[in-house]
C-alpha cells in the first residue's frame, strides 16, 4: 500500500468543508490518512478516538457526503467520497482493498468522485461484464511528464523504491479541470490546455484569484468564460479589479447551526 496521501484544494478549500467545525475537519484528514488504496477506512471509530472527535463529527461527515458509510457485520466502514480526486496511484504502488466487493454498488463521475447513485455520465467502479476489466482508473505504465509541471530533485535520503522512475502522479489537465469552476466543453478545454505553454501553478493561482473577482461572482457565475476560451485567450493575465468579501460562518453562528441541523435531519 502506498504510504503517501494527498489532498485536493478544490475539496479542502471549499465552503462546505471550511464551514464544518475544526474537529470534523481534523477527523476527515485523519480518515484519509487511515484509508487503504481504494479509499476505504476499516476502523473509523478507532480513528475518531485517536483524534478526540465526537460521534456528531462522524455523522456530520456522512450527512455532508464527504464519506460513504457501509454496514459490515455488526460494524461499519467508510469510503472517502473524493478519494480519487485527492489521490492518483500508479498500479505498481496500488494494493486492492479487502472491501473491494463493496465497489460493485459504487459509481464515479467524470471527476472520479464516488457515488451510490447511478446516473448520466457515471461509470460503475466494477463493470458488470467480464469483457470489461476493472482497472480502478489507475495507469499500468509510466506516464509522460508534462514539461510545464515543475520537477523536484530529490536527495539520496528521500529516494526510495517507490519513487524511482516516477516524479509526477496525476494528469495536469485534470488538476486544471478540477480547479476551474465552469465545467463545460471538456474536450475543447483539453485541446486548448495542450497548446498552452504556461506553468500549471500559474494557471491554478490565476483561477483561484479570479474565483473571488466581482465578474466571476455576478449572477451565479454567468460571466465566467468557458475553460477553453479562458485558455485560448490567455485570460490568466486578466486584472482582478475587486475582490468579493465572503463572510465565513463559524460553528457558533446561527447560520452554521441551521446548516448542520438541516443536514442532520433524518439521520
- 8 neighbors 85 (Cβ within 8 angstroms): yes
Residue-wise pLDDT tens digits, 78-133: 999 898 888 877 777 788 888 878 888 888 777 778 887 776 667 777 765 444 44
Do residues 23 and 121 both lie within one domain? Answer: yes
Residue 157 resides in a domain: no
- 57 neighbors 21 (Cβ within 8 angstroms): yes
- 145 neighbors 167 (Cβ within 8 angstroms): yes
Do residues 103 and 66 both lie within one domain? Answer: yes
3 state DSSP class of 93 = coil
3 state DSSP class of 79 = strand
Instruction: Render 131-147 in DSSP notation, one character per residue.
Output: TS---TT--SSPPPPPT
Measured distance CA(10)–CA(17) in Å, rounded: 10
Do residues 133 and 208 both lie within one domain? Answer: no
Q: How many domains does the chain have?
A: 2
Provide CB contacts within 8 A for 58, sequence distance 6+.
27, 44, 48
Domain residues for the domain of 138 are 1-147
Measured distance CA(204)–CA(77) in Å, rounded: 34
Do residues 122 and 195 both lie within one domain? Answer: no
pLDDT at 243: 56
Residue 23 resides in a domain: yes
Whole-prediction pTM: 0.47
Amino acid at each position: 500500500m502506498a504510504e503517501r496521501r494527498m489532498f485536493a484544494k478544490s475539496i479542502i478549500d471549499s465552503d462546505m468543508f471550511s464551514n464544518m467545525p475544526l474537529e470534523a475537519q481534523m477527523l476527515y484528514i485523519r480518515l484519509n490518512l487511515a484509508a487503504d488504496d481504494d479509499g476505504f477506512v476499516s476502523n473509523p471509530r478507532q480513528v475518531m478516538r485517536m483524534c478526540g472527535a465526537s460521534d456528531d463529527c462522524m455523522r456530520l461527515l456522512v450527512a455532508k457526503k464527504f464519506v460513504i458509510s457501509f454496514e459490515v457485520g455488526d460494524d461499519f466502514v467508510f469510503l472517502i467520497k473524493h478519494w480519487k480526486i485527492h489521490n492518483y496511484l500508479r498500479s505498481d504502488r496500488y494494493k486492492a482493498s479487502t472491501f473491494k466487493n463493496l465497489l460493485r454498488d459504487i459509481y464515479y463521475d467524470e471527476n472520479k468522485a464516488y457515488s451510490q447513485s447511478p446516473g448520466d455520465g457515471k461509470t460503475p467502479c466494477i463493470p458488470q461484464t467480464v469483457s470489461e476489466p476493472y482497472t480502478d482508473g489507475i495507469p499500468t505504465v509510466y506516464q509522460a511528464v508534462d514539461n510545464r509541471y515543475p520537477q523536484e530533485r530529490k536527495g539520496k535520503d528521500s529516494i526510495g523504491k517507490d519513487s524511482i522512475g516516477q516524479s509526477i502522479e496525476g494528469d495536469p489537465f485534470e488538476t486544471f479541470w478540477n480547479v476551474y469552476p465552469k465545467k463545460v466543453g471538456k474536450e475543447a478545454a483539453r485541446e486548448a490546455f495542450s497548446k498552452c505553454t504556461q506553468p500549471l501553478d500559474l494557471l491554478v493561482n490565476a483561477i483561484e484569484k479570479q474565483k473571488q473577482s466581482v465578474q466571476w461572482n455576478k449572477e451565479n457565475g454567468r460571466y465566467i468564460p468557458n475553460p477553453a476560451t479562458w485558455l485560448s485567450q490567455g485570460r490568466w493575465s486578466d486584472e482582478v479589479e475587486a475582490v468579493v468579501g465572503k463572510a465565513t460562518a463559524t460553528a457558533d453562528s446561527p447560520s452554521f447551526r441551521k446548516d448542520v441541523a438541516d443536514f442532520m435531519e433524518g439521520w
